[in-house]
Amino acid sequence: MDPTDSSPINPLTQIQRRYNATPVQTPTRPARAALTIQPAPIDSPGNPLAPIKHRKQLRNGYEQSPKTPSYRPYSLNNPGTPRQKAFNISNPAGLQSIPALDPEQWNNLAVKSGVIAADAQLRGFQIQISNLVLMRRGDALLISPTGSGKSLTWILPLLARKEGMSLVVTPYTSLGLDGELSNKGDGISSLFVYSEQNSQQDFEKAATGEMLVIYVCPEMLKSPSFACLIHSASWRGRLSAIYIDEAHLVHQTHTWRPSYSRIYQFRKIVGLDTPLIALSATCPELYRHSLLTFAGLRMDYTLINHGNFRPELSTIILPMLYDITSFLDIAFILPLGTREADLVPTIVYADDLELLTKMFWWAFSRAASMGIPTHAIDIIHSGLSVRHQELCMNDFRNGITKILLGSSKISAGINFPGVKRVVQYKCRDLRLPNFDQRRGRGARRQGETAVGMIFVEPSMKLGGDFSVENPGEQDPGMIELVQSDECAEAIIQRHLDNPRHNRDPSYNCCNRCDPSMQPGREYEWVEENPGPSSAFPTTNKSTTAQRELIYDKLAAWCLQHWRSYRKAKWPSYGPKTLISDSDLEELAAHTNKINCIEDMRRYTHIVHWKDLSTPLFESLQGICQELNLLPPAPEIVIAEPTVNQPPQKRRKTTEKRKPEELAQGEMIIDFQ
């Protein structure tokens, strides 16, 4: 029998299809009671939003292991090093408490200094925190949506006092640089002290500045150089307040970023009279407890919790359908045939550097094949130099880069205008507050909307390696978010301890409530009538010599195809842009696993799939036949129907049955 027989009742295909069919199952869903996350006791193991294991630290592309510092944190004099002196600044007396301003006074001040537009108003929390700082009346924790203007809280008190300094502890270099460049209002200057900007002049500026915002990362804060400032009583006296930006990181990173677990030592030196203001968009109860322990936040702090509900953000959660390294699940970010001007500004997060790099090359070649300038795609991660990261972010901010692929380097707090999509590619090891922070990069300007998407890999899907009851080291909140069929927004709000808000019926919350929000799957492929392609039987495994021969023949075919059909149309593209060498090698190595056109997807990254897949498959099929790699056609035995035969006893499926034992309509298909 011809294995490529295309008759609609090809028994071989029927059997294969039935064998491959996924059994229909009702997905088992954990009982509602099990999904309700109780506020966990602080020390209970495996509590929701628990910190996870150590993450890789990279510097200039190399992994770094955390080192015990060679100095005593926050200490001026260390054994074996030259004695250092604290700055002796001939400043006037330390800052004193001054009376609060009323909202009208604050608004006038903010408009006059140019920090808000003439027709805008300050928000309640900005005024509340600024007054608390002016009066030096204790500490505060502000939980407020990303992009709601938390940074004004370290500028406004300086504008009101016309003197003093705000010290902002910032987690990332990028965030410090971003803060240093942003609009600060008349008379305010800023300085970011970090590894590449820590000269004597910088410290002198930090020591003597007035109306100055000093940004510093926690590592620099505890260094001996910074100790010269910290141990100067006159400098401490000039501090208007200490701000811990992205304060959720104290909880999330204290296990692998010890600088965050030692801020309390700094607080001890500065004293409790200088207000400490912690700011975050997501700070559930457990996180708040860590601020008391590790950052030295006063027990009687004022909590201002506006939650992080942003109705301009929607959520889409989708399981991955394709191989992770094929990136076909996110092909919609670069739709075939699109032009540069039509690309939607998108951030794609992937936390595995290797995967991120692969994704970059996939997007890069896909863009190139469509004639989109390659500057439209860029990648950012901690392995790049600070300067490189800076350029990267400027290009994205200015709209030169349309699609930015990155790791946690595209951190919370960085403001990019116009981002419409934030895609999380794989979610293992990610915690729900992180996702919430990440999707918060979208819709940062008034009137914009954006969508946060998670593509869930098989191990995190329902029925995968984890469940809410058995989360392992994963965040149960994240597991519930990706595995439940409940409204995604409701799950996020519940886990983040956000205050209740009135739901607007027109709000597009998630794809579970409105499935029409899902992006089109560009590669959706439905076989209605099995054609010759799926009748191609499994080939025998080839030898190395055969694989090389297949590769050569495929390369020759590819060249021929290019000459005949492509060369005249796209003279600037060579045959290797059609199908890369590595794709051809993969195909040659896996001929025994390629039974139909779709099977080739697993081994290739062909951009012009629609045009090339059929001729390529036919060529591969021809080569296999030529090399006798196809198995002999299966023997099909159709038994004579027997009438009124008594029912047969069930046998083990491995046992061979004789034709005469078959019931009416049964047949034997024997793959020799």
* Interface contacts to Zn ion, rule CB under 5 A: 487, 489, 509-510, 513
Residue 262 CB, nearest distance to Zn ion (Å)?
A: 41
What tokens were used for 535?
Answer: 């009748």
SS3 606: coil
Do 101 and 131 meet the contact criterion of CB atoms below 8 Å apart?
A: yes
What tokens were used for 511?
Answer: 């794809």
Measured from the CB atom, the residue of 509 and 630 that comes closer to Zn ion is 509
Q: DSSP string spanning 101-134?
A: PPHHHHHHHHHHHTSS-TT----HHHHHHHHHHH
What tokens were used for 592?
Answer: 């025994």
Residue 90's identity, in one-letter code, is S
Measured from the CB atom, the residue of 110 and 432 that comes closer to Zn ion is 432
Quick one: angle between helices 124-135 and 103-113, nearest 10?
Answer: 100
SS3 241: strand
d(CA 466, CA 138): 43
- Spatial CA neighbour of 50 closest among 251, 248, 245: 251
What tokens were used for 363?
Answer: 């997007």
d(CA 438, CA 129): 25
Phi then psi dihedrals of residue 333, to 5 deg: -75, -20
Measured from the CB atom, the residue of 113 and 498 that comes closer to Zn ion is 498
Residue 511 CB, nearest distance to Zn ion (Å)?
A: 8
Residue 475 CB, nearest distance to Zn ion (Å)?
A: 20
Strands (E), 158-211: 165-169, 189-193
Measured from the CB atom, the residue of 488 and 616 that comes closer to Zn ion is 488
Tell whether the torsion through CA atoms of 89, 93, 98 and 104 is positive or negative.
Answer: negative
d(CA 372, CA 402): 11
* Block residue for tokens 């700011």: 279
What tokens were used for 162?
Answer: 């016309």
Measured from the CB atom, the residue of 159 and 450 that comes closer to Zn ion is 450
Residue 516 CB, nearest distance to Zn ion (Å)?
A: 13
Residue 492 CB, nearest distance to Zn ion (Å)?
A: 10
* Block residue for tokens 């030295």: 296
Measured from the CB atom, the residue of 13 and 493 that comes closer to Zn ion is 493
- 82-87: long-range contacts, CB 8 A cutoff, minimum separation 24: 84/224, 84/227, 84/228, 85/228, 86/227, 86/228, 86/229, 86/230, 86/231, 86/232, 86/233, 86/235, 87/203, 87/204, 87/207, 87/228, 87/229, 87/232, 87/234, 87/235
d(CA 181, CA 79): 38
Q: What's the N-to-C CA distance of the chain in angstroms?
A: 14
Residue 484 CB, nearest distance to Zn ion (Å)?
A: 11
Question: How many Cβ atoms sit within 10 Å of the Cβ of residue 268?
Answer: 11
Residue 252 CB, nearest distance to Zn ion (Å)?
A: 26
Longest dimension (CA), the chain: 112
Measured from the CB atom, the residue of 261 and 484 that comes closer to Zn ion is 484
d(CA 81, CA 586): 58
Residue 503 CB, nearest distance to Zn ion (Å)?
A: 10
Measured from the CB atom, the residue of 412 and 510 that comes closer to Zn ion is 510
Residue 443 CB, nearest distance to Zn ion (Å)?
A: 17
Residue 514 CB, nearest distance to Zn ion (Å)?
A: 7
Measured from the CB atom, the residue of 290 and 315 that comes closer to Zn ion is 315
Residue 133 CB, nearest distance to Zn ion (Å)?
A: 38
For residue 489, give the H/E element and its range.
helix 488-495
Measured from the CB atom, the residue of 510 and 607 that comes closer to Zn ion is 510
Measured from the CB atom, the residue of 170 and 315 that comes closer to Zn ion is 315
Measured from the CB atom, the residue of 231 and 439 that comes closer to Zn ion is 439
Measured from the CB atom, the residue of 111 and 318 that comes closer to Zn ion is 318
Q: What is the DSSP letter of 313?
A: E
Measured from the CB atom, the residue of 491 and 612 that comes closer to Zn ion is 491
Strand partners, 377: 403
Tell whether the torsion through CA atoms of 473, 474, 480 and 484 is positive or negative.
Answer: negative
d(CA 125, CA 168): 18
Residue 422 CB, nearest distance to Zn ion (Å)?
A: 17
Do 281 and 435 meet the contact criterion of CB atoms below 8 Å apart?
A: no
Residue 515 CB, nearest distance to Zn ion (Å)?
A: 11
Residue 275 CB, nearest distance to Zn ion (Å)?
A: 39
d(CA 216, CA 214): 6
What tokens were used for 494?
Answer: 């519940």
